[in-house]
C-alpha cells in the first residue's frame, strides 16, 4: 500500500510533454501572400489555458498600433500560441513564436477558428511559427531567423495583389450537395488593378471524367482594398476533388493557391431492394419460429 502511494506521488509530479513539426522556410513575400492580417502590435497580456481536448495554450492579448493590410475592425487582437505551463503540467511545442510583456512586434496572422487540438478556441495564429513574428525596434522589424523589414520604406505605388483565406466548405459532402469555395484578394499597393481569378476543380477516382474551370474576370481593386470572391459548385459524380486557384493581373506576376479539396460520398438511393430484402428476412424468421413451435408441441403431445 505504501509503495503504491509513493509511485502515485512520483507520477503526479511535474512533467513536460513536447510536440515537434517540420517548419517550411518562408520568405517575407511568402508571409505577405499567406497572411490574412499584417499588424504592428504592443503585447499587453499573456494568459495560459487548457483546451477542452487537454492541450495547453496561451492567449496573447495585443493592442494594435498599425494595420499594414487595411483597416482592422478591433482595437486589439488575440493571438493563440500552443504550449505553456499550468501548475505542474507543461507542454512545449516546437516552432511556436515567443512573446513577452510590453514588447512591440510586427506579426503576420491568419484567422483561427479552432481545430481538433483546440476545439472552440478562436483568435489568430502566427503564419510560419516564429518566422511570422518580427521584433520592432524603431523603424526596424527583425525576425528570429534574421529577416529584416524596414518600416520607414515608402509606400508601394504599384499594384500588389495576393490571395488569402482560401476556404472550401464543407470538405466532405454527398452527391448534389453544394460546396462553397471562397478566397480573399488583397491589393496592398497604392494603385488600382484589374485582376482575373481562375478556379480549377479536378476529380479523382470516379470523378476523373473531367475537370471544371470557373473564371472571375476583370474584377478591380483600388489600392489598399480587398474583396471576398466566392463560387458554388454542385458535384454530380462521387470521388475526391482537388481545387486550385490562380490569380493574375496585367503587369503583375501570377499567384497560385491550392487546397486539400473535398470528398464526395455517394448519396443513399433506395431502389426498393433494401425494403424487399427486409421483408424476406422478416418472413423467413417468422417461418422458423413456426417450425420450432410445432416441434415443441409435437414432443409435448
- Quote the CA–CA distance of 86 and 51 in Å, as a whole number: 12
Domain boundaries along the sequence of the chain: 14-150, 161-265
The number of beta carbons lying within 10 Å of the beta carbon of residue 157 is 10
Are 167 and 143 a contacting pair, CB within 8 Å?
no
- Quote the CA–CA distance of 27 and 3 in Å, as a whole number: 56
> pTM score, two decimals?
0.50
Q: What is the pLDDT of residue 209?
A: 54
C-alpha cell at 214: 470557373
DSSP letter, residue 174: E
Q: What is the pLDDT of residue 153?
A: 64
Helix (H) or strand (E) holding 253: none
Q: Which residue in 192, 242, 244, 248 sits closest to 217, CA to CA?
A: 248
- Quote the CA–CA distance of 188 and 67 in Å, as a whole number: 11
Residue 240 buriedness (CB in 10 A; 0-12 / 13-18 / 19+) = middle
Q: pLDDT tens, position by position, for the chain (301 residues)?
A: 333 333 333 333 344 454 444 567 888 888 998 999 999 999 999 999 999 889 999 999 999 999 988 888 889 999 999 999 888 888 888 889 999 888 999 999 999 998 988 999 999 999 999 999 999 988 899 998 889 998 876 555 677 787 777 888 898 899 889 999 988 888 877 788 888 888 888 887 665 556 778 888 888 888 878 888 988 999 888 888 888 888 887 766 666 766 678 888 875 544 454 445 455 555 666 667 666 667 756 666 5
- Quote the CA–CA distance of 34 and 22 in Å, as a whole number: 18
CATH T-level topology, domain 14-150: OB fold (Dihydrolipoamide Acetyltransferase, E2P) (2.40.50)
Q: 161-265 belongs to which homologous superfamily?
A: Immunoglobulins (2.60.40.10)
Return the biggest CA–CA distance within the chain: 107
DSSP letter, residue 271: -
Evaluate whether 14-150 and 161-265 have a shared fold.
Answer: no
- Quote the CA–CA distance of 187 and 197 in Å, as a whole number: 14
Amino acid at each position: 500500500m505504501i509503495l503504491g502511494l509513493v509511485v502515485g506521488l512520483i507520477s503526479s509530479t511535474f512533467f513536460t510533454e513536447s510536440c515537434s513539426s517540420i517548419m517550411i522556410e518562408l520568405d517575407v513575400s511568402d508571409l505577405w501572400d499567406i497572411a490574412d492580417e499584417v499588424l504592428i502590435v504592443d503585447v499587453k497580456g499573456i494568459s495560459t489555458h487548457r483546451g477542452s481536448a487537454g492541450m495547453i495554450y496561451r492567449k496573447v492579448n495585443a493592442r494594435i498600433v498599425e494595420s499594414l493590410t487595411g483597416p482592422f475592425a478591433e482595437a486589439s487582437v488575440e493571438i493563440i500560441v500552443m504550449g505553456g505551463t499550468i501548475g505542474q503540467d507543461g507542454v512545449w511545442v516546437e516552432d511556436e513564436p515567443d512573446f513577452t510583456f510590453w514588447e512591440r512586434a510586427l506579426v503576420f496572422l491568419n484567422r483561427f477558428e479552432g481545430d481538433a487540438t483546440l476545439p472552440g478556441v478562436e483568435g489568430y495564429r502566427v503564419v510560419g511559427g516564429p518566422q511570422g513574428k518580427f521584433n520592432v525596434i524603431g523603424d526596424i522589424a527583425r525576425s528570429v531567423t534574421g529577416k529584416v523589414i524596414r518600416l520607414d520604406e515608402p509606400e508601394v505605388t504599384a499594384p500588389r495583389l495576393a490571395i488569402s483565406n482560401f476556404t472550401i466548405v464543407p470538405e466532405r459532402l454527398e452527391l448534389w450537395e453544394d460546396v462553397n469555395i471562397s478566397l480573399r484578394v488583397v491589393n496592398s499597393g497604392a494603385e488600382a488593378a484589374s485582376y482575373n481569378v481562375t478556379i480549377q476543380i479536378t476529380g479523382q477516382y470516379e470523378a476523373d471524367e473531367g475537370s471544371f474551370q470557373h473564371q472571375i474576370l476583370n474584377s478591380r481593386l483600388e489600392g489598399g482594398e480587398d474583396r471576398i470572391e466566392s463560387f458554388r459548385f454542385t458535384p454530380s459524380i462521387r470521388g475526391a476533388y482537388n481545387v486550385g486557384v490562380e490569380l493574375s493581373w496585367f503587369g503583375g506576376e501570377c499567384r497560385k493557391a491550392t487546397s486539400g479539396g473535398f470528398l464526395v460520398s455517394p448519396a443513399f438511393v433506395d431502389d426498393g431492394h433494401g425494403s424487399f430484402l427486409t421483408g424476406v428476412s422478416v418472413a423467413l424468421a417468422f417461418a422458423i419460429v413456426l417450425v420450432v413451435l410445432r416441434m415443441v408441441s409435437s414432443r409435448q403431445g
